[in-house]
Amino acid sequence: MSIISARMRGPWTLFKKELLRFWRVSFQTVAAPVMTALLYLLVFSHVLEGRVQVHGLNYTSFLIPGLIMMSVLQNAFANSSSSLIQSKVMGNLVFVLLTPLSYLEFFLAFLLASVVRGVAVGLGIYLVAIVFIDLPMAHPLLVLMFAVAGSAFLGAFGIIAGIWADKFDQMAAFQNFIIMPLSFLSGVFYSIHSLPPFWQTVSHLNPFFYMIDGFRYGFFGVSDISPLISLSIVLGSFFAISWLALTMLKSGYKLRG
């Protein structure tokens, strides 16, 4: 007897299909981002180790959680957005649209698959990094919470981008002009306290900053902002973006004419 009820089997199947979709190309979807993050780590740590200290930490240790979280966020976004745009362009999204899945089930399946990919990439970078560097984890639960909440936020963001974009060019614009700047200017490579006051204020408007700052707190117990404030902002942002994605799905925007 199956442990999944008939009612839940629909969204479960979509979730499973989305997992398999990225796992079938895991060199591209998991191994490649791990490799990219490790190359960042190698280059930046080689150049800046011994010259820069942040929050009393050596630079390499400071950098790793930021790199992990940046990869988690980028890959969570890439998962839902690329799956949707590909299915739209190829036309095979019709197979899902013909089913009795509700807009909420559709949303949750894509969102959870994004979280799994984001966390899998983050775990991959962490496991390789700790082979070479001693990386304590002061608050593992907070690390997990920020990783899940952050990837959920980006998964929902990816759903919006995937619904909105009609072609790969538009998706690339979304990725390169929104996601990439927000993740690079979020304190991955520096503490925002090292920035001039104006750019500190600007950084506080970037939700990625709170995700990375809170995630880093989970490792070292130090951060620019209280982790509870960060978590509240991340969850608030997640609910806001999820509301937007659900509203688009419910109305059938660009999916059901």
Partner 1 sequence: MIPAIKIEQVQKHYGALQALKGIDLTIEQGEFFALLGPNGAGKSTLINLLAGLIKPTSGKLAVMGFDVQADYRQARHALGVVPQELVFDPFFNVREMLRFQAGYFGRGPENDEWVDEIIECLGLADKAHTNMRKLSGGMKRRALIAQALAHRPPVIVLDEPTAGVDVELRQMLWEFIKRLNRDGHTVILTTHYLEEAETLCSRVAMMKQGQIIALDTTANLLKKIPGKNLRLKLSAALPESLRPLLRHEEAFEYMLALTEVTQVEAVLAQIRQAAIAVEDMQLIEADLEDVFVDLVSKP
CB of 20 to partner 1, least distance (A): 7
- Contact at 8 Å (CB) between 124 and 71? no
Question: Which residue number, 3 or 205, has a Cβ lying nearer to partner 1?
Answer: 3
CB of 74 to partner 1, least distance (A): 21
**Does 130 engage in binding with partner 1 (CB under 8 A)?**
no
Residue type, 2: S
Contacting residue, 12, 19, 202, 235, with partner 1 by CB under 8 A: 12
Phi, psi of 26 (to 5 degrees): -70, -20
Q: Confirm or reject binding of residue 20 to partner 1 (CB under 8 A).
A: yes
**Least distance (Å) from partner 1 to the CB of residue 36?**
23
CB 79 within 8 A of CB 151: no
Nearer to partner 1, 5 or 141 (CB): 5
The size of the interface with partner 1 (CB under 8 A), counted in residues, is 31
Answer for the pair 120, 26: CB distance below 8 angstroms, yes or no: no
DSSP string, 35-102: HHHHHHHHHHHHHHTTT-EETTEEHHHHHHHHHHHHHHHHHHHHHHHHHHHHHHHHSTTHHHHTSS--
Cβ nearer to partner 1, comparing 95 with 168 = 95
Which amino acid makes up residue 236? G
Angle at 177 between CA 171 and CA 180, to 5 degrees: 95
234, 211 contact by CB (below 8 A): yes
Interaction between residue 254 and partner 1 (CB under 8 A): no
Q: From the CB of 122, what's the least distance to partner 1, in Å?
A: 23
Please give the span between the terminal C-alpha atoms of the chain, in angstroms, as a whole number: 39
Nearer to partner 1, 87 or 200 (CB): 87
Query: Which residues between 83 and 112 bind partner 1 (CB under 8 A)?
Result: 87, 90-92, 94-102
6 belongs to the binding site for partner 1 (CB under 8 A): yes
Which residues are at the interface with partner 1 (CB under 8 A)? 2, 4, 6-7, 9-10, 12-14, 16-17, 20-21, 24-25, 87, 90-92, 94-102, 252, 256-257
